[in-house]
Amino acid sequence: MDDLLVEFLNESNESVSNLDDLLLKLEESPGDLNIIRDIFRILHTIKGTCGFMGLTRLEKLSHSFENVIDKLRSDSLTVDQDTIQTLFKALDKLKIIMANLTDSGTEGEGEDNEIIQELNTRLDFLNGEISPSEEIVIKEDEAVQSVDLSCEESGQDSINQDEIIPEGMSKSEKKEFADIAKDPEAVQKVEQSKEVAVDQPKIKDADAHSKEESKDGANLSAAQSIRISLDVIDQLMTLVSELVLSRNQLLQFSNQNPNPALGNSLQHLSQITSELQEGIMKTRMQPFQNVLSKFPRVIRDLAKDLNKKVTFTQEGSETEIDRQVLEMMKDPLMHILRNSVDHGIELPTDRVKKGKSETGNVHVRTFHEGGRIVIEIKDDGKGLDVSAIKEKIVEKKLASPSELEELPDSKIFAYVFEAGFSTAKVVSNVSGRGVGMDVVKTNIEKIGGTISLDSILNEGTTITIHIPLTLTIISALLVESENQRFAIPQSSIIELVLVSPHSVHQIEYLKDVPLLKLRDKIVPLVSLSQLLKLSSEKKGLSESFYVLICQISNSVFGIIVDRMFDTQEIVVKPLISRLNNNPYFSGSTILGDGSVVMILEPNGINHTLSSYQGNVQDQAVSSKTAKQGQRAKTLLLVFKTAENQQAVPLALVTRIDEINVNDIYEQDDRMIIKYRNHLLPIVYFSDAVHKTCLEKRSNKQKSQESTEDEIAQQKEISVQNQIVDELDSIMPILIFSDRGRSMGLIVNEICNIFEENLDVKLMNESPGVLGTTIIDGQPTSIIDCEHYLKQAYTDWFDVTQQDAKRNAPQHKGSILFIDDSPFFRNLIAPVLTIAGYDVTTASDGLDGLKAYKQMQGKLDCILSDIEMPNMNGYEFAQHIQNLPEWLPIPLIALSGRNSEEDFEKSRQVGFSDYIVKSDQQTLLRTLKKHIKQQNALDGILK
Amino acid sequence: MIENQYLTVRINEYLFGLPVEKVHDVFYTPKMTPIPLAPEKFVGLLNMRGRIMAAVDMKSCLDLGKTDFNEKTMSVVVEDQGEYYSLIVDKVNEVIYPTPDQKDNIPSTLNPKWLHMAKQIYRLPNELMIVLDLVKVFDD
C-alpha cells in the first residue's frame, strides 16, 4: 500500500468515526446547523481526497451523501428520522469500503447504487417537501448535478433569511451568512471554489478549511497531534529501557569511584533519563474516549432493535489509559453495555408502569483511584433479582440452597460471572447465550483487573471494573527459588508469610499435600521449585521459607519460595511466541543489573492449582461411586501420646494452638489457662500428658530456685537457656468450642491431618474412646469429645439443658437419627443433644420405621443416612411417607456423598434437605431452620 | 547478491551455513537465565542490548549433546518473524559465497532429524556445508 493511501486511511478513519458521533448528535437535535456543517465539511474533504486518489466508489457515495447534507445545510432543514436512518446506512457503507481499502488496498467489488439511490430519494423528498428559495436551488443544481430539477417547480415563497441563519453565530458571521444566502452568486462561488479544489486536494484542504472556519467559528480545535506508528514507540521504549540500564551501571560505577564532576553530570543525565522514560510511557497512553466513542452508536442501534429508549452518558472519558489495556477492554465493555441495554433497561411501557421515565440511561464513569483505573457502568434498569439468581445457581448446581442461605447479596451476584450462567429467560441474539460474563471476567482478570457487580431490584445495576494503568510497567516482587530469581506482580500478592520451625504459622500435611494454616483459613500451597521443576532432586520443604499468599478472584493460595528481595517497577516484555505456551509465565524483564528474570503469572498458577484440586475431588467422587457402600472420607486430626496414636474428627476442632505450660493455673482441681483474653478450661488428654506438663514446669521452678550466686555465674548460659526453656514449656492444644463455650485439650504432639475412611474396628473399649481404626498403618483411637467436654464443664449438659430451657420453654425438638454406623451415632447424637434436641437413634431404615411408629406424633424431624444395610435412606424415605400414620415432618438426608446425583435423588424421594456429613455447623443450622418452619406450619394449622 | 551468502559456523566437527540476511549479530554469550519447563534446546533467556532473546543450543537441536558454556561460547543472533534468537555454536567462521554448481542434493540417507532441518547442502573444497532451515530448527 503506498504511503499516500495509508495516510488517507488514517485521516479518513478518524473522520468517519467523527461522523458517527455527529450523526448521533444530529439525531438528538435535528435542526442544529452547526452539526450539519461539521458533517458537510468532513464529507467534503473525504469526497475531495477520493477524487484525487482515484477512489471512485468512495467518491460517488460521499458525493451523494454530501448532497443530502448540503441540502439540509443550505436550507437549514430539520432532519427527519428516515433521512437519519439513510444517512447511517450510507455511513456504514462508507466504513465497509474503507475497511476493504485497509485490508486489500482496493475499494473491493461491490455495488453502491442502492444506497446512492436511497440518498437521492431522500434528497428528492427534502426538495419536494419543503420549498426553498428558488434561486438558491437552481444555482445549487448547477453546481451539484445529481439534484432533480423538478424542485424548481415547487413553491416559490422565498424563505425568511433569518430562518436559515443558524443559532450561535456572531453578528458579523450572521451578516456574512445572510449575504451568502441572499446572493446566489456567492453560493455558487463557494460551490465552485470547492469543485476546483477537488482537483487540487492539497490546496483545497487548507483552502476549504480556512473558508469553513472563517464561516462558522465553531469547532476550531486544530489538530495538535501527529500520528506515529506503534512500532516506533515500542522501539523507543526499548531504547529508553536500555538507557535506564546504562545509567544505572554508570551510577554504580560513580558510587564506587566518587568524582564530583562526574557525579553532577550523572545526576543531570539521570534526571533527564527518568523524564524521558516517563514521556515515552505517556505516548502509550490514550484517552478512554477512544474506546467509548464506539458505544453510543452500538447502544442506539441495539435500543432501536429492542424497541427501548436508552440514553448513553459518560463521565471522565478523558482519563488516560495504556493503549494495550484499552484494546483489551474493548470487548468486555461492549459486552457489559449490551447486557445493560438488553437485560437491564426495561421496555418504555414497563418503565412507565414502575414510575420511571420512559427513557433508560446507561452511564459510564471512568476515574483514577489508587494507581488503578476504575470504570463504572451503571444502568437504571430493572436490576438483578437475587432470588432468581439463587434459583439459577441451584439449578445450575453451582451451590446448594443451604450454602446460599449464608451468603450476602454481593457474593450471590458474583455467581453471575461464573461460566455458563445467564439470567436471561429468553435467549436473544443480543445476549443470554450463556457465554458472556464469565468471559468478560476472564478477560479483565487477564490484564490484572477485577470486576464486581452490585444491584438493587428495580433500581438498576452497577458494574465496577478495576484495571491497572498500564501493563508494560508493573510493580513486582523479586523472589528466589533454587538460586533462580523470578518476578511476581505485586497486585496479586496479599500477604507474605515466613515459615520457620518457631514461627506462628505452620505447615500441615494432608496426604502429602502441604497446607498452611493461616489464622482461620487453610491455604493450599504450591512450591515454586516443584511447580517449575527447578531442582532435579525431589526433596521436601526446607526448614525455613517464605510463602507468598496470592489472591485471584475468590481463591487464595500460597507459593513457596526460598528467599525474597525487594519490589521493583519492571518493564514487562512478552515472551517469544515459541515459549509462550507456558501458563506460569507472563513475560520476562531486564533488571537494573542487566540480568533477565521471568515474570510469574499467578493466574496461570492458580488455574493449575485448582484444576489439580478438581482432579482430586473428581477422583474421590469416582472412586466413591465405583465402590458402592464404601464409607465417606472424613478429615481426621491425628495426635500422639507416648503409648498410642489418637485421632479426632477435624470438624469438631475449632483451633489448634500452642500454650506455655507455665501459664496454667490450678483452681479447685480444675485447670485454667489465660488464652486470648479469656479463661479457658483445659483438660490433659491423659495422665502421661499431665506428667509431661508437670515436668516442664518443675524444670522451670528448679532454675528459679537456684541461688543468686549461681544465677550470676550462669547468667550467660541462662539467657540461652531461657529461650530453650520457652520452647521447652510449649505444649500443643486442641480447642473445642460450642455455644460460646470453649475448652482446651492438651496433647503431647500433633502429627498430621488425614483424610480417611472411617472404618472403626473396635468399639468402646474405654471411656473417652469411641473406637479404634487404622490410620497411616497405625492403630489409632478415635477419641470421644463428649468425654472431655464433660471433664472441662461438669455441668456442660446441665448448662445446655438449662440454656435450652431458658431459650425455649420446651425442648427444641425431637429428632430421629438413623445411621448404621455406631461411630456416627455416637458422634452426632451427643452433638444434637448438646444443641438441645431429644435424640432417638436407629441403626437402619427398618429400625427407623419401627422407631417412628413408636414415637409417632412426637417427632419433629428425621435425620437419615443414605447408605445403610437392610433398608437404605431412599427406601426409608419412600416407605415412611406411605405409612398411614405419616405426618409430614422434615426429612433430612445426611450423607458422606457429595455428588449431584445424590442431591437430586434424595430430593426426588422426598427429602427436604441434604447435608454432607461431618459439617456440624451446617447440620445444626439446617435442623433449626426446618424445625422452625415446621413449628410455624403447625401453628397455622392449629 | 546477499541471497547466496552464508555465515559458516562450526558445531562439533560439522560445518553449517546460516543465510546472512537472517543474521543480525555475533557475540560472546552473556550470562543466561534458565527457562523453566521449556524444551531442552531453549537453554535460557539473555539480554542483548535491551532486547530479551531466547538462546538455542544448536548441539541439542542437532542431537550432538549439550554445549558446555564458558565466556568464549559464541552466539549468533538471528531473526525469525520479528523475534530474536541467539544460536549457541562452537565457533563462528567466515562468510562464504558458494557458487550454484557447488550445490548438491541432500542425501536421503541423512539422519532423519538432520534431513528435516537441512535446506541445502554445498560441496566446499574441503568439506560439506549444510544450510539450515531455521524455522524448522526452532519448531522441531
Nearest CA in chain A to B30: A595
ipTM of the complex: 0.90
Between the ranges A759-763, A908-912, B72-76, where is the mean pLDDT highest?
B72-76
3-class SS shares of chain B: helix, strand, coil, % to 5:
15, 45, 35
Q: What is the pLDDT of residue B31?
A: 87
| Separation CA A933–CA A283 (nearest Å) | 65
Mean pLDDT of A701-721: 50
- Report chain A residues whose CB lies below 8 A from the CB of B32: 596
Q: Write down the pLDDT at residue A177.
A: 47
Q: Give the per-residue pLDDT at A147.
A: 37
| DSSP symbols for A303-326 | HHHTT--EEEEEE-TT-EEEHHHH
The predicted model gives A276-293 an average pLDDT of 81
> H or E stretch including A79?
none
> A211 pLDDT exceeds 70?
no
**Closest Cα partner for B31 from A593, A251, A480?**
A593
Q: What is the pLDDT of residue A150?
A: 38
Rounded to the nearest 10 degrees, the angle between the axes of helix A796-807 and helix A822-834 is: 50
Per-residue pLDDT of chain B (140 residues; tens, 9 = 90+): 556 889 999 999 999 999 998 899 898 988 899 999 888 899 999 988 778 899 999 999 988 988 888 888 899 999 888 788 999 999 999 999 998 888 888 888 888 888 888 988 999 988 999 999 888 888 87
- Put simply, the answer to whether A595 touches B49 (Cβ < 8 Å) is no
Q: How far is A568 from chain B (nearest CA, A)?
A: 17
Tally A–B CB contacts below 8 A: 60
Task: Classify strands B118-123 and B103-104 as parallel, antiparallel or unpaired.
Answer: antiparallel
Q: Does B53 contact A at CB distance below 8 Å?
A: yes
**Inter-chain residue contact A582 with B49, CB threshold 8 Å:** no
B38 at interface of A, judged by CB pairs closer than 8 A: yes
Separation of alpha carbons A915 and A170, rounded Å: 79
Chain A residues lying within 8 Å of B34, measured CB to CB: 484
B49 touches chain A (CB under 8 A): yes
C-alpha span between B118 and B131 (Å, rounded): 6
From B51, B85, B138, residue closest to A238, measured CB to CB: B51
A593: chain B residues, CB-CB within 8 Å: none
pLDDT for A642 equals 62
Alpha carbons A650 and A752: distance in angstroms, whole number: 11
Residues from chain A that touch B53, judged by Cβ atoms under 8 A, are 576
What is the C-alpha separation between A661 and A696, in angstroms, rounded?
A: 7
d(CA A451, CA A437): 10
- What SS3 state is found at A385? coil
A388-401 confidence digits (pLDDT tens): 888 878 877 777 77
**Residues of chain B found within 8 Å of residue A608, distances taken between Cβ atoms:** none
Lowest mean pLDDT among A511-525, A548-562, A727-741: A727-741
**Angle between the A184-199 and A134-143 helix axes, to the nearest 10 degrees?**
20
Q: Which residues of A touch B49 (CB under 8 A)?
A: 242
Q: For residue range A471-502, what is the model confidence (pLDDT) as tens digits?
A: 667 788 999 998 899 999 888 898 899 888 88
The predicted pLDDT at position A479 comes to 95
**pLDDT at residue A635 greater than cutoff 50:** yes
Nearest residue, CB atoms, B50 vs list A238, A532, A595:
A238
Question: Side chain identity at A941, as an amino acid letter?
Answer: L
Q: Which of A367-376, A399-408, A761-770, A776-785 has the lowest mean pLDDT?
A: A761-770
DSSP-assigned beta bridge partners for residue A550: A493, A557
Q: B32 at the A interface (CB within 8 A)?
A: yes
Cβ pair A771, A824 in contact under 8 A: no
